[in-house]
Structure 1
C-alpha cells in the first residue's frame, strides 16, 4: 500500500475520532452561523435551549452525515496532499525534504479543490439536518428529524440535484483555510525540527535529526487551525447559510455580495456568529486529528509492511 493511501486511511480515521469528540460544538456553530437575528445567545444558553426543546441527542443532529463527510474530506485531502507532496519532492534535486511555503500552498490548493468538489454534497446534507428544526424566521419549530437518506430524498424533491452543490462558491474560496492551516503547520514544523536538530548537533550528535512528539503535533495542529479559522470565518458563515438553503442566503449574488449583505443587515458581528464555538471546535478537532493521524499512520504502515 502506498504512503499516500495510508495517509488517506489515517486521515479519515483520525477525522472520525476528532469529529465524534467535538460534534456538539460544530452543531452549535452551524446553527449560529445560519441565524440572521441580531440577538445572540451565549454558548451555554444555546445548549440549554436545544436540550430543552430536542433533548440531549438534539446536539448530535447530523452526526452520521458529518462522520461520513469528515471521513471523505480527510481521506481525499490527505491522499491528494501527500501525493502532490511526493511528486514535488521527487522532482527536486538535493536532499532537502521540506516543502517551501509556495510548495505547501500549491499542494494545499490541489488537495483542497479536489476535496471541496467531492465532499460538498455531504456537507449540504449535514447542514440541512443541523438546521431542520429552525423555521424560516430562525425560531424553533416542531418537525420530524430526517436520517441521511431521507434528507437526500427531501433535498432532491425540493430543489433537485443542483442543491447538493449549494455554497460551492464560498466553499472553494475556503480552500484557503486548509492552505493556511497546512502551510502554517509545515513551516512551524520545519522551524522546530531545524532548531532542535541544530541544538542536538551543537551538543555533539553530528548526524542527529530531531523528531516531533505527539504533543508537538497536537499543539502545532491546534495553532495552525486557530490561525486559519480566525482569518476565514466570515466565508464559513456565508457557506453555512447557502448550504442550509436559507431563504435570505439564496438571494446572495456571490460570496462577496453575501459578505456585504450580512454587514449591511446585521453589522460586522454578523460575519462572526458562532465563531466562539467554531474556533474551539476547530482547534480541538485539528489538534486531535494531527496527533491521531500521525499515530494511526505509523500503526497502519507497520501492519501493511508486515503483511
Structure 2
C-alpha cells in the first residue's frame, strides 16, 4: 500500500514559506502591471523601480508593499506543500505501474495531476490575495477589505460562493506551468547527476546525490524560465478576471474568454506579457531557493 510522503509535503511547505516573504513586493508590482489595461484606478507605473517607489510612498511604506502578505504566505506554503505531496505520490504510483524510471511524459503527467488538485484547493486564497494587492490607494468605489478573513467573508456575502473560483479556468491551464517546470527540473536533474558521476571522482561525491547547492539553484532557475515563457499569459488573464467587480470601472471581465479577447483586441500579444519583468525578478530566484530548500529539508527528514 502506497504511503503519503509527508516529508515531501513538509519540505515543499517550508520551501514556499522561505521564499515568499522577501519577494512579495515584486509580486504586488507584477499583479498591478498585469491588470493595467488603461482603465483601472491604480496609478500609472513607468517601470518596476518606479512602481516600488510609488507604492511605498503613497501606500504607507512597507504596509503597501506587503499588502496581501498573509494569503500569499498561506497560498504559497499550501500550494508547494500540496504540490510536492501530490506530485511525489503520483510519481510513486506511476513507478509502481511501469516498474522503473519515469520518462518526460510521466513526469509531465504527474505534475499535471498535482497541479490540478492544487488549483482547486487554493483558488480562493489566490483570489483574495489578488483583491488585496489591487486595492487602490485612497477611496475607491468600494469599502476596502480589512484583511484576509474580511475579504473572504465579503466576497461570499456580496458575490456568492462561486466568486471564490473566479479565474479557476486559467488557473487550471496554469497547471501546464508546474508540469513544464517539474518536467524540465526532473530531466535536467537526471542529466546533471549523470554528468557529475561521469566526469568527477565518485569518492568525492555524495553517494546518493552528487549535485551541489549551486546546481540546485541553477536547476530551479532554468526550469522556471522555461515554464514562464509558455504560460505567463494565463497568469495575466487570471489576474484580470479576479479583479473586484465595479460598475465605475470602464472594463469588467465577466470571464476568461472575454478577458482574453479584450486584451488581444486592445493591447495585442504584448498585453499578455505585461508585468513579466518583475515576475521574473520574483519567481526565478524564488524557484531557485525553493528547490534548494526542498532538497535540503527532504534530506533532513528522510
Q: Any conservation in 2 of the 1:65–1:123 contact (CA below 8 Å)? A: yes
* 2:42 aligned with 1:43: no
Higher deviation after alignment, 208-217 or 55-64:
208-217
Q: What are the Cα deviations for residues 77-107 of structure 1, in whole angstroms up to 9, with x where unaligned?
A: 11000001111222333xx54x211011110
Aligned equivalents of 1:263, 1:77: Cα separation in 2: 32
Query: What are the ranges of 5 or more consecutive residues in structure 1 without an aligned counterpart?
Result: 302-307
Residue 272 of structure 1 and its aligned partner are, at CA, apart by 1.3
Q: Distance in 2 between matches of 1:101 and 1:78?
A: 17
Structure 2 match to 1:305: none
SS of equivalent to 2:5: helix
TM-score computed with the length of structure 2 as normaliser: 0.88
**Alpha-carbon distance between aligned partners in 1 of 2:45 and 2:236, rounded to the nearest angstrom:** 15
| 1:80 aligned residue | 86
TM-score by length of 1: 0.87
Secondary structure of the 2:272 match is: helix
Aligned residue for 2:135?
132
In the TM superposition, residue 250 of structure 1 has moved relative to its aligned partner by: 2.6
Distance 2:197 2:49 in 1: 45
Distance in 2 separating the partners of 1:243 and 1:43? 22
Query: Relative to 1, partners in 2 of residues 1:5 and 1:204: Cα closer, same or farther, differing over 3 Å?
Result: closer
Return the alpha-carbon distance in structure 1 between the equivalents of residues 111 and 125 of structure 2. 21
Counterpart of 2:229? 230
Pairs aligned (count): 290
Structure 2 Cα separation of the partners of residues 261 and 34 of structure 1? 12
Partners of 1:269 and 1:6 in 2: how far apart?
A: 41
Q: Deviations over 1:10-56 (max 9, x none)?
A: 10111011111211111110111112119652111111211121122
C-alpha distance in structure 2 between counterparts of 1:268 and 1:134, whole Å: 29
Q: Is the 1:194–1:210 contact (alpha carbons within 8 Å) kept by the matching residues of 2? A: no
Per-residue Cα deviation, 1:113-169 (whole angstroms, up to 9, x for no partner): 00001100000010011012269xxx9789645211111112112211111000000
RMSD: 2.5
- Is structure 2 residue 195 aligned with structure 1 residue 190? no
From the superposition, tell whether residues 165 and 134 of structure 1 become closer, same or farther in structure 2 (CA, over 3 Å): farther
Aligned to 1:32: 33
Secondary structure at the counterpart of residue 267 of structure 1: helix
Rounded Cα–Cα distance in structure 2 between residues aligned with 1:25 and 1:246: 24
Q: Residue 246 of structure 1: CA displacement?
A: 4.9
Asked if 1:52 is matched to 2:57, the reply is: yes
Q: Is residue 149 from structure 1 mapped to residue 149 from structure 2 by the alignment? A: yes
